[in-house]
Amino acid sequence: MLIKIRPDQIDIPLASEITPQEVYASRRAFMGKVAAGAIAGSGLLGAGSAFAQSATARKLPAKLNSAYAVMDKPTAYQDATTYNNYYEFGTDKADPARTAGTLKTAPWTVSIEGEVKKPFTLDLDALMKLAPLEERIYRLRCVEGWSMVIPWIGYSLSALIKKAEPTGNAKYIEFVTLADKKQMPGLSDPILQWPYTEGLRMDEANHPLTLLTMGMYGEVLPNQNGAPVRVIVPWKYGFKSAKSIVRIRFVKDQPKTAWNMYAAQEYGFYSNVNPNVDHPRWSQASERRIGEDGFFARKRKTLMFNGYNDVAGLYTGMDLKKYF
């Protein structure tokens, strides 16, 4: 018999309270049970996503990549789509859900520029077909001290980098996002220098965890979450995960980034999730999971690299207090 089981009904430990090794082991045990039929028909596997979605958005079929799925309970779709940072659409958490309806996501192109064999432009359709879409369940932690767990859909950015054929001079990658006053009411507020830009070192960009993201919860991205294409870098603070990307530039020198230009002493280039290095205004030692932890609940511990220990090797020999 097939039993319908929602992810939030599966009894799993809080991943933030156990070690990443245990997370991995328990996920393997979980997947083992699925394979054995004990959790058959959960919908967690296969082409469709099991997660609650909107009634109108376009479906985006993708296979769950269980190697890249944390055990934590996914955040409710309602929370993930109404509590957003997307300053082009206002600075209040509720603003983007209200105002991002004016974002025109089709037609859309992403141009690949800079230190590459030959610059080119891809439309969204071509971008979607570049590599098989995967569903991955990642934690996203904002430097403000809250976190979510979201089933994203996309593929490793490395697939696009390979296609771009970067030259030997390409040491960093810069993401330039849309800045259009007609579509984005927040641009009249000069709080950040528009367009919002972000960047990664080439080895960070090529790490398989770095996800070029076109969807979430089984569907195309809602506008407020960065439609039609964004990046998700799960071991870094949320602001590194730039939304609504229009240009990807391969560059020799470390690119300027929007938040670093806003306040360099608060927002470094690297911005790895690090419980040992506090932001001047917020502790980074703990966090509140949106939709789960009330304001009076004991906060959960923030994990080094947000629990993604695989990336530690990228920073061997670097003083992460200096390169925060």
| Out of 105, 147, 223, 244, the residue judged to bind ligand MTE by CB under 6 A | 244
Closest distance of CB 69 from ligand MTE, Å: 18
Continuous H helices in the chain: 20-35, 77-80, 95-99, 124-129, 157-164, 202-206, 258-262
Tally DSSP H helices, then E strands, for the chain: 7, 13
Residue 175 touches ligand MTE, criterion: CB under 6 A: no
Question: Nearest to residue 182, comparing CAs of 84, 86, 87, 103?
Answer: 103
Omega into 119 within 30° of 0, i.e. cis?
Answer: no
Residue 147 touches ligand MTE, criterion: CB under 6 A: no
As a whole number of angstroms, the distance between CA 83 and CA 80 comes to 6
Q: Is 242 annotated as a binding residue?
A: yes
Residue 210 touches ligand MTE, criterion: CB under 6 A: no
- Binding segment for ligand MTE (CB under 6 A), chosen from 84-92, 126-134, 154-162, 205-213, is 84-92
Residue type, 116: V
Q: Is 276 annotated as a binding residue?
A: no
By beta carbon distance, the residue nearest ligand MTE is: 238
Closest distance of CB 243 from ligand MTE, Å: 3
- Give 148 or 251: the residue with its C-beta nearer to ligand MTE: 148
Sign of CA dihedral 221, 164, 242, 236: positive
Closest distance of CB 242 from Mo ion, Å: 11
Residue 142 touches ligand MTE, criterion: CB under 6 A: yes
Q: Is 40 annotated as a binding residue?
A: no
| Residues 6+ away with beta carbon under 8 Å from 96 | 84, 85, 86, 89, 90, 223, 224
Is-contact 23 139, C-beta < 8 A?
no
Residue 268 touches ligand MTE, criterion: CB under 6 A: no
Is-contact 194 214, C-beta < 8 A?
no
Joined tokens for residue 73: 């309970």
User: CB burial class (10 A; 0-12, 13-18, 19+) of residue 76?
Assistant: middle
Residue 225 touches ligand MTE, criterion: CB under 6 A: yes
Residue type, 156: S
Q: Is 177 annotated as a binding residue?
A: yes
Residue 217 touches ligand MTE, criterion: CB under 6 A: no
Q: Is 174 annotated as a binding residue?
A: no
Residue 139: enclosing H or E segment and its boundaries?
strand 134-141
3-state secondary structure of 289: strand
Closest distance of CB 100 from Mo ion, Å: 16
- Give 194 or 259: the residue with its C-beta nearer to Mo ion: 259
Closest distance of CB 144 from ligand MTE, Å: 7
Q: Is 169 annotated as a binding residue?
A: no
Q: Is 84 annotated as a binding residue?
A: yes
- Binding segment for ligand MTE (CB under 6 A), chosen from 11-19, 61-69, 234-242, 281-289, is 234-242
| Out of 16, 147, 213, 241, the residue judged to bind ligand MTE by CB under 6 A | 241
Please enumerate, by residue number, every residue annotated as part of a binding site for Mo-molybdopterin: 84, 87-88, 142, 177, 225, 230, 241-243
Residues that bind ligand MTE (CB under 6 A): 84-88, 140, 142, 148, 177, 196, 225-226, 238-239, 241-244
